[in-house]
Structure 1
Amino acid sequence: MNPEVLVDRFLMAWGEPDPAVLQERLAELCHPDLDYHNPVVALHGTTALADHIAGLSSLIGTRRLTRTTGVQAAGPWCRYGWALLPPVPGMSGETALHLEAERIRRVVSFHGPLPARTYTAGTAR
């Protein structure tokens, strides 16, 4: 599957209100041994991710995750920017996916902009 299509389908799954349909979509898109990491949680498996999505859905209501950039691929990895719409401060970022047999095996997602670099005495500028 084209990485751009895979990413878009993955983001659409985050808006699925029916738990059974969500689990089906994740099972189609993700490897059974999926690993998911963001600054707040580390999860293993599609069931854990479905539970995480359901919990998040109760907080964000009708807002939806939307891809805000193109999808850049490098070997088995791809990355893209995303945002929650309508906007919520801090709920945008970048995600990297590791694909295995055209399914998502690993997800690493970051929220918000990168922090500014701080300089201390003796460090390169």
Structure 2
Amino acid sequence: MDHTDAIDAFIEAANTTDAERRADLLARALARDVVFWSPLGRGEGRGSVEDFITQVVQGHPAGPCRLVRTTGVDAPGEWARFGWSYVDAAGRTLLSGVDVAHVTPDGDIDEIVVFAGELA
């Protein structure tokens, strides 16, 4: 799996409500011991990413929302970055940002850092 495939599998996992499908996508995209940095803190393991998805991404008070990759994947070597938006059912952007991911030689994301919002 290349960088773009891993990132797109991660985004698809964030958007699916089927727990089994989400777990499969996360297993394809993320190393078992992935380190996940979000605005809410640091988590380790696929379970921490799954918890973030179900509680924060899918549990948003605005109702059903989805994560959309808004840029190409810039991948110099083992690092990748991409832009994203979090949009509601009407297509309005609620939040946007850039994520940076470290990708192993096997194509698994073993670290991901979420940068949400605009820089001052």
TM bucket normalised to smaller: 0.7 to 0.9
Q: Deviations over 1:34-66 (max 9, x none)?
A: 000022221100012111111120215321100
Matched, 1:109 2:114: yes
Task: Extract unaligned runs of 5+ from structure 2.
Answer: none
Give the Cα separation in 1 of the matches to 2:32 and 2:6.
16
TM-score normalised over the length of structure 2: 0.87
Give the Cα separation in 1 of the matches to 2:54 and 2:85.
18
Task: Extract unaligned runs of 5+ from structure 1.
Answer: 116-125
Which residue, 99, 102, 105 being the options, matches 2:103?
A: 99
- How many residue pairs get aligned? The number is 114
- What root-mean-square deviation, in Å, do the aligned CA atoms of Structure 1 and Structure 2 show? 1.4
Give identity over the alignment, percent.
30
Match of 1:2? Answer: 2
TM-score normalised over the length of structure 1: 0.83
SS of residue in 2 equivalent to 1:14: helix
Give the Cα separation in 2 of the matches to 1:19 and 1:61.
18
Give the Cα separation in 2 of the matches to 1:41 and 1:19.
23
Kindly indicate whether the alpha-carbon contact (under 8 Å) linking 1:95 and 1:109 is maintained by their aligned counterparts in 2: yes
Larger radius of gyration: 1
